[in-house]
Amino acid sequence: MSRAFVKENDDAPEAPQPDIPVGSAPNLVTERGAGLILERIAGLRRALEGLAEQEAEPLRRELRYWEARRASMRLLRQDPGAGAVGFGTEVVVRRPEGLQTLRIVGEDEADPLRGLLAWTSPLARALDEAEPGEIVDFEAGGRTTPLEILSVRPL
């Protein structure tokens, strides 16, 4: 191929990926969530050992994210006497489909399919400060679902 048809920057190395964005909400964590962040950092550091520069960059990018999350984490423990839904609580709700147990946790610990809701999620916000016996109407997807709070306990 003639050099006339090759861009000069074809041989240039790829531009580095920008850092993974860190959310703007306070980084509240449970004890479990703090442990998960520390485990993730340790695992990434182990994985970086002996890697070539080019192979290491994606892991370094991820490590920068988790180190920023560690630096900003705020361990928050729920008051054992608190009877309302909030960060660091487990709440059992009755939905039209049946009972569901939800845990209100930090953003990095969230896993909605396992019932771990980020405290910043719409459902966690709708349940915030509700107490056993209350019914909360949760709106999502154009429909309203009544959620009866059956119990609340600290994690």
- Taking alpha carbons only, the member of 92, 88, 85, 95 closest to residue 125 is 85
What is the reported pLDDT for 130? 97
pLDDT tens per residue across span 47-67: 999 888 778 888 999 999 999
Structure tokens at 95: 């939905």
Residue 149 has pLDDT above 70, yes or no: yes
| Residue 15 bridge partners (DSSP) | none
Reported as a single tens digit per residue, the pLDDT across 84-108 is: 999 999 999 999 999 999 999 999 9
Q: Are 65 and 20 in contact (CB under 8 A)?
A: yes
Instruction: Give the separation between CA 17 and CA 138, rounded to whole angstroms.
Output: 38
